[in-house]
Structure 1
Amino acid sequence: MIQTFNQHNFHQLCDVVATKDADLKEIIERFGYPPYWSRPNTFESIVHIILEQQVSLASAMATLNKLKDRIATITPGNFLPLTDIELKDCYFSRQKISYVRDLAEQIINKKLNLDDLVDKTDSEIKTALTKIKGIGNWTVDIYLIFILHRLDVFPIGDLAAVNALKKVKGLDKTSSTEDIISTTLSWKPYSSLATMLLWHFYLEERKR
């Protein structure tokens, strides 16, 4: 059975994972619950995640907004006619032009149906999405958490989550991937909620 979280059980499940880990409980006590980060299952949402690869959230949002100014509604059909020059004017890098074009073409050619992904397992979704140019494990993990609200995902490639985990757990900055994954095992099957708490911690600490 595919397990997900939603806006109604979000705080309850944050509390459940916090009972498994006193450090996560302390995050809630210090900063309250994290926002319910959620995006619709659309082409635009995946474009947004691709734009967030290896840049700041603010930079990605600026690019997305510039694209919206250009085509109003971000759909595969509206995106594909844009030239490289038009997309560079929207702050797209050469690589991300290529990635989003491939995504748009896959959807237009019916090789990818986002609605069909809802009923697939995390592993099946990863297989389907990583066939698309520029979509790797991190992009899939963010899709699973933000869009499909899958319950048990820890994005090992997410620097904010990993750095927050190291700080919360007092781990050495040079800790191995194996050490980090081992630390997350006690959160199962609620790793996504733990991840959102770590992001919340990271953002609140940066405000200070």
Structure 2
Amino acid sequence: MHSYLKLTFNQQNFHQFCDAVAAQDVDLKGIINWFGYPPFWSRPNTFESIVHIILEQQVSLASALATLNKLKDRIINITPENFLSLSDEELKDCYFSRQKTSYVRDLAQNLLRKTLDLDALVNETDEEIRTELTKIKGIGNWTVDIYLIFILHRLDVFPMGDLAAVNALKKVKGLGKTSSQEEIISTTLHWKPYSSLATMLLWHFYLEERKR
């Protein structure tokens, strides 16, 4: 097992690791030169944080946050117990779709039954965490990738299912819109073992470009 599958970045070494991946790729260095370093995006290792990521699946970040805030208004503390105390109708009032209601219920039940232990995941490799989390209904590779980057700050993750990161990569690298998955993967291989930092630089580029 690759030892870097448990390596993490933190607020102290964040810029240093951004510089390390930028030293391997002139286009990523260009992002830092143009826009500076990305924010240190981070969330705690909690039920609420995973609910937030599930809500972000296939919708805008603003829409996901509005749903999360509506839920917070209703139950104050977003815990598995409090979530399960709400009916489908009450969750619909909090903008939850039927599908995401069932996903978050499954997550809450697994945490309460202790078939999933978030604290224990910290000591597992990326692939072990992927195996654990994808047992939960509605959690696929993209959700796991975001969990690994935002919450556990694992060093070497590129979320192939993330449209913002992939589109930014195509633009920064001058790849065609119809580039194959193989082309994208071969580009990301140059970023090992700092793929997560490359991803954050690409998100930063994507968001800054949109402001323009």
The answer for the alignment partner of 2:120 in structure 1 is 116
1:55-87 per-residue CA deviation (whole Å, 9 max, x = no partner) reads: 000000000000000000000010001001100
Q: Point out where structure 1 has 5 or more consecutive residues left out of the alignment.
A: none
**Among residues 155, 175, 192, which one is paired with 1:171 in the alignment?**
175
The answer for the alignment partner of 1:200 in structure 2 is 204
**Among residues 49, 52, 55, which one is paired with 1:51 in the alignment?**
55
What is the aligned-residue identity percentage?
A: 81
**Structure 1 outlier segments of 4+, above 6 Å:** none
Structure 1 vs Structure 2 CA RMSD: 0.4
1:24 lines up with 2:28 in the alignment: yes
The answer for the alignment partner of 1:70 in structure 2 is 74
1:122-159 per-residue CA deviation (whole Å, 9 max, x = no partner) reads: 00000000000000000000000000000000000000
Equivalent-residue separation in structure 1 for 2:174 and 2:96 (angstroms): 38
The answer for the alignment partner of 2:150 in structure 1 is 146
TM-score by length of 2: 0.98
Matched letter for residue 39 of structure 2? P
Equivalent-residue separation in structure 2 for 1:156 and 1:68 (angstroms): 31
**Among residues 77, 99, 113, which one is paired with 1:95 in the alignment?**
99
Matched letter for residue 100 of structure 2? K
Matched letter for residue 52 of structure 1? E
1:79 lines up with 2:51 in the alignment: no
Matched letter for residue 119 of structure 2? D
Matched letter for residue 63 of structure 2? S
Equivalent-residue separation in structure 2 for 1:153 and 1:77 (angstroms): 31
Equivalent-residue separation in structure 2 for 1:46 and 1:178 (angstroms): 29
Count the aligned residue pairs. Answer: 208
1:93-125 per-residue CA deviation (whole Å, 9 max, x = no partner) reads: 000000000000000011000000000000000
Equivalent-residue separation in structure 1 for 2:191 and 2:46 (angstroms): 29
TM-score by length of 1: 0.99
Secondary structure of the corresponding residue to residue 85 of structure 1:
helix
